[in-house]
Amino acid sequence: MIQAFRLSDDHAGGIMSFKSIEKSKAGFGTLRSIEIGVTSRCNFRCSYCGAYDLQERRILSLDEVKQTVETLPDLERVKLSGGEVLLEFDLCESIVAYCSEKGIHTQINSNGTLLTDEKFDRLEAAGLGVLHFSLNHTDAESHSAFYKVTEKMFPKIVKAIARSVASSSIDTVVETILFDETRDRMTDVHRFAADLGVRKHEIQMEIPGVHQGYENTLSSGAICDAITRLVTARDPRTTIFFSCLSAYFRPDSESWKRLQPLLRDPGVIYASCIEGKAQLHLHSNGDVLICELGAPEVIGNIFDTPLLRIYEESEKLQEFVRSKHEEATFSCFRHLDVQGKKADKPSVTLLPMPQLISRPPQDG
Ligand SMILES: C[S@@+](CC[C@H](N)C(=O)[O-])C[C@H]1O[C@@H](n2cnc3c(N)ncnc32)[C@H](O)[C@@H]1O
Ligand code: SF4
């Protein structure tokens, strides 16, 4: 079996842990992580899906991935996230094995429906670091009704999570999006996952995508309420990771202040956002994006310009990184106009806090 990547930073046994780059508060200047959407194909059609350009049918080959990885001297982590990348299982396995041999930590993001015991064995043997599953429901009926898939899918996901948890080398993470569909069942999903043996639960803020606008988006008050209920009921065996909170809260807002005691809970991690700073997204057609969900701004294409040069020279990226430090801005939804529709001219130039209509992420 190929050994998973070892680093000397924050974790027991030296194995790079989930979100350790985010926890190190990486700044701009060193590209330490890339997320690669090797394929945009998917066996699901999630209403909330914000993945970039799901229509693309091109697949990034192993050689193309290698050529890029080899030019990144500081790369520590490769995340594979599409689409459903396990539709290209052999490719994922080869990339994981290649990265493991180079000492690069790997993560696969999956909806969990395509994994079999044999595939687990192969991913373990290839040295996979993290398997990251989406889980927004606790029963087949509501899962099937929401995703419009057969009820047979949910038990497959549960089985896959249980198999992953049993692995001694793969770290299992379950992610739940906090949005309309889950706000009243966050605690149930959390307990369900904990009872399956999951010890890392990521709570991802819903990022309005260009196709769905703000229709599932909660106000910051509703988010605070849901987080309060969840953290209060946290299973003590688990750690909860919050992602993309800064997309919803101004640092000086009352709701952000209200969240602070909860975020200081010893079982809670609010890792800083490294998108654009220490991580970029590489799409299957070669496009390079600052962040797939929150800032889907194409800043170059690896078939024209090497990734490292894009990172070092993109003015759009530098403007984005600078803007992240400014307050009173709504840094992550800038590709949408005030009504949650795709803006005519997506811009990395900061938009002021938008005057949102309907159910916006509001201050306070
Ligand atoms: C794009 S998916 C690809 C991996 C896999 N197909 C899955 O669904 O887990 C990667 C992650 O992004 C999350 N995601 C997708 N659309 C989102 C959105 N609009 N806001 C927040 N998270 C989103 C999914 O829940 C998933 O955990
Ligand atoms: S969120 Fe994942 S499973 Fe759902 S459509 Fe997008 S890529 Fe597919």
Neighbouring CB atoms inside 10 A of 3's CB total 11
Identify the helix (H) or strand (E) that includes residue 192.
Answer: helix 186-196
In this model, does residue 2 exceed pLDDT 60?
A: no
Q: pLDDT category, 239, cuts 50, 70, 90?
A: very high
Mutate which of 39, 42, 49, 115 for ligand 1? The one with the most ligand atoms within 8 Å of its CB, which is 49
Q: Would you say residue 357 has pLDDT above 50?
A: no
Q: Measured from the CA of 83, which atom of ligand 2 is nearest? A: 7
Q: How far is ligand 2, taken at its centre, from the CA of residue 47, in Å?
A: 9
pLDDT digits (tens, 9 = 90+) for 196-221: 999 999 999 888 765 566 667 788 78
Pick the residue whose CA is nearest to atom 1 on ligand 1.
Answer: 51
Which residues lie with the beta carbon below 6 Å from any ligand 1 atom? Answer: 42, 48-51, 81-82, 84, 109-111, 134, 175, 177, 204, 206-207, 209, 293
How confident is the model at residue 331, as a pLDDT? 57
Scan for tokens 């090497």, then name that residue.
306
Atom of ligand 1 nearest to the CA of 84: 6
- Which of 7-16, 38-47, 54-63, 136-145 has the largest mean confidence? 136-145
Ligand 2 atom nearest to 50, measured from its CA: 6
Top pLDDT among 323 and 359 is at 323
| Residue minimizing CA distance to atom 4 of ligand 2 | 46
User: Between 223 and 271, where is the model more confident?
Assistant: 223
| Smallest CA separation from ligand 1 atom 26, residue | 134
- Token representation of residue 324: 């992240």
Q: How confident is the model at residue 6 (pLDDT cuts 50, 70, 90)?
A: very low
**Whole-prediction pTM:** 0.90
pLDDT of residue 333: 62
Exposed e or buried b per residue across 173-193, where buried means at least 16 C-beta atoms within 10 angstroms of its C-beta: bbbbbbbebbbebbbebbebb
Give the number of the atom of ligand 2 that is nearest the alpha carbon of residue 82. 7
Are 89 and 82 a contacting pair, CB within 8 Å?
Answer: no
Query: Of the ligands numbered here, which is closest to the C-alpha atom of 47?
Result: 2
CA end-to-end span of the chain, whole Å? 51
pLDDT in tens, 137-160: 999 999 999 999 999 999 999 999
Ligand 2 binding residues, C-beta < 6 A: 42, 44-46, 49, 51, 82-84, 111
CA of 42 to the centre of ligand 2 (A): 6
Quick one: pLDDT at residue 202?
Answer: 98
**48 CA closest ligand 2 atom index:** 1
Nearest Cα neighbor of 92 from 78, 105, 80 is: 80
CB 132 within 8 A of CB 202: yes
Q: Which of 46, 176, 179 maximizes ligand 2 atoms within 8 Å of its Cβ, making it the mutation to test the pocket?
A: 46
Please report the pLDDT score of residue 7 as a whole number.
39
Looking at residue 356, its pLDDT comes to 35
In which band, very low, low, confident or very high, does the pLDDT at 123 lie, cut at 50, 70 and 90?
Answer: very high
Question: In whole angstroms, what is the distance from residue 227 CA to residue 98 CA?
Answer: 39
User: Quick one: which atom of ligand 1 is closest to the CA of 292?
Assistant: 1
Higher pLDDT, 264 or 358: 264
Taking the CA of 207 as reference, the closest ligand is 1
Residue of 38 and 4 predicted with greater confidence:
38
Q: Which ligand is nearest to the CA of 52?
A: 1
